């Protein structure tokens, strides 16, 4: 039997999602507690990797079990034994062929930027104390939907089979408290892609690049042309669609 786990996590204390032999990761932490509760080794498969320090306000993983699982009880018990920065929202049975990673049709990331000192956002947003031109940033972000090769925003030595991604949504919005929220949706993302895009769009907003220069960076397929990646703290995996 296969079960989906819907969860959230604050990534500040973890070296990303993916299990590593000598590092604390989200996957490894959940697997340890799940195996303890089910009294046998259990591996989980996630919807995708998130890098060190990156958060997830919505994440899906799956695990298989030969024994029937009381989903409500397991959810309760996992939340009791997991650290406070990982929350299990629900667990539910799915078809045995349903796959948390390979069946995902799209993924959505959200990035938060604040220009003001914000005590309650100091670990969940990029404090960038410069006023940004949101209209110009949105004009540049719209260019992401017109292209599909994102080599200029792909981390080196990532062993990607392809740097082709299809972005279907990319937009900046201003929240009531002045925080800027960037939402981007695509069928897949490259490692460090969103942070590199955000860093470059912020440079558009502060006047370093024009909209045309931003598009030239995309077309150049040259990582050295893009800006430094935005800090991990402001990035959230916010949705996965199946």
CATH number of the domain that residue 17 is part of = 3.30.70.580
Q: Please indicate, yes or no, whether residues 128 and 222 belong to a single structural domain of this protein.
A: yes
Q: Please indicate, yes or no, whether residues 133 and 187 belong to a single structural domain of this protein.
A: yes
Q: Please indicate, yes or no, whether residues 76 and 121 belong to a single structural domain of this protein.
A: no
In a domain, residue 99? The reply is no
Find the farthest-apart pair of alpha carbons in the chain and give their distance in angstroms, rounded: 59
Q: What pLDDT does 161 receive? A: 85
In a domain, residue 101? The reply is no
Q: Please indicate, yes or no, whether residues 121 and 65 belong to a single structural domain of this protein.
A: no
| Of the candidates 195, 196, 201, the residue with the CA atom closest to the CA atom of residue 214 | 201
Q: What is the pLDDT of residues 98-132, one digit of tens each?
A: 999 999 999 999 999 998 888 888 889 999 999 99
State which of 73, 94, 115 marks the end of a domain: 94
pTM above 0.75, yes or no: yes
Q: Please indicate, yes or no, whether residues 235 and 132 belong to a single structural domain of this protein.
A: yes
State which of 94, 128, 151 marks the end of a domain: 94
Residue with tokens 């040259």: 222
The number of domains in the chain is: 2
Q: What pLDDT does 34 receive? A: 98
Q: What pLDDT does 157 receive? A: 67
List of the chain residues with pLDDT < 50:
none
Ramachandran assignment for 123, one of left (phi > 0), alpha (psi -120 to 50 degrees), beta (any other): alpha
Q: Domain limits at 43?
A: 2-94
DSSP, collapsed to helix, strand or coil, labels residue 6 as strand
Q: What pLDDT does 130 receive? A: 92
Residues marked active site are found at: 51
Q: Please indicate, yes or no, whether residues 110 and 224 belong to a single structural domain of this protein.
A: yes
| Of the candidates 199, 187, 188, 190, the residue with the CA atom closest to the CA atom of residue 232 | 199
Q: How far is the C-alpha of 193 from the C-alpha of 155, rounded, in Å? A: 7
Q: What pLDDT does 158 receive? A: 67
Return the CATH number at 184: 3.30.70.660
State which of 71, 94, 117 marks the end of a domain: 94
């Amino acid at each position: 039997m296969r079960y989906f786990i819907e969860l959230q996590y604050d990534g500040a204390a973890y070296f990303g999602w993916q299990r590593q032999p000598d590092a604390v990761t989200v996957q490894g932490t959940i697997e340890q507690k799940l195996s303890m509760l089910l009294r046998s080794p259990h591996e989980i498969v996630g919807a995708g990797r998130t890098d060190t320090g990156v958060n997830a306000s919505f994440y899906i993983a799956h695990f298989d079990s030969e024994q029937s699982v009381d989903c409500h009880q397991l959810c309760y018990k996992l939340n009791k034994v997991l650290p406070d920065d990982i929350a299990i929202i629900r667990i539910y049975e799915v078809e045995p062929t349903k796959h948390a990673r390979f069946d995902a049709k799209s993924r959505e990331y959200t990035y938060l930027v604040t220009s003001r000192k914000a005590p309650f956002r100091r670990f969940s947003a990029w404090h960038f104390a410069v006023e940004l031109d949101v209209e110009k940033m949105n004009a540049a972000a719209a260019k992401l939907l017109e292209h599909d090769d994102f080599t200029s925003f792909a981390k080196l030595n990532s062993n990607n089979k392809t740097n082709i991604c299809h972005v279907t949504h990319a937009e900046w919005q201003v929240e009531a408290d002045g925080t800027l929220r960037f939402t981007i949706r695509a069928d897949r993302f490259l490692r460090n892609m969103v942070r590199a895009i955000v860093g470059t769009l912020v440079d558009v907003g502060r006047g370093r690049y024009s909209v045309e220069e931003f598009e030239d960076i995309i077309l150049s397929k040259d990582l050295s042309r893009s800006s430094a990646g935005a800090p991990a703290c402001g990035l959230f995996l916010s949705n996965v669609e199946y």
